[in-house]
Amino acid sequence: MVVTDCVRVSAARRTPPRQILEGALVRVADDWGLFWINAADYRGLAVIEGCAHELAHALDLGRTFEDLLQKMPDEESNKHEASVLRIEVAALAEFGIHLSMRRLRTSANWNAPVGVPSHAQKCAKRFVTLIAREIRRMTSPSTHRVKRE
């Protein structure tokens, strides 16, 4: 007689949290048609930082942010870059990834007061919600049938 049991297997138990976060960011970036680079030259966090930065741009200005930035005067574009850095740092901190604001500011060639205005806070909250939802979707337990005799 064959008895079938349901065994729940969670990807979160097998995959380190940083890899899960990276996977969620890549999936969202792919869904949103975002392309990223690692401008701050992070090694282990390259994909996370690059995807997070581009997602922060999209949340700040919308999915056509590249076209909008190209048309802006330098001063306005720099304001948006500063906002994106704040969004990126605040959102990733919620996932336990602490980037160096100094390093990001240097790589972005941006020098302004540090703080998170309300627009950037709202974007960071949307970022966290979006990525947390993707992580939950990726790591939700799946049911596998195991035959036992």
Q: What is the pLDDT at residue 111? A: 53
Q: Indicate if the pLDDT at residue 38 is higher than 90.
A: no
Cα(first)–Cα(last) distance of the chain, in Å?
6
Tokens 């922060």 locate to 56
**Confidence class of residue 147 from pLDDT cuts 50, 70 and 90?**
very low
Q: What is the pLDDT at residue 46? A: 84
59-85 confidence digits (pLDDT tens): 999 999 889 988 998 888 888 888 888
Alpha-carbon span 27 to 19, nearest angstrom? 12
| Cβ atoms of 43 and 50 closer than 8 Å | no
Mean pLDDT of 89-111: 77
Structural domains of the chain, count: 1
| Cβ atoms of 61 and 38 closer than 8 Å | no
Mean pLDDT of 76-105: 85
Question: Range of 73's domain?
Answer: 3-148
Q: Indicate if the pLDDT at residue 37 is higher than 80.
A: no
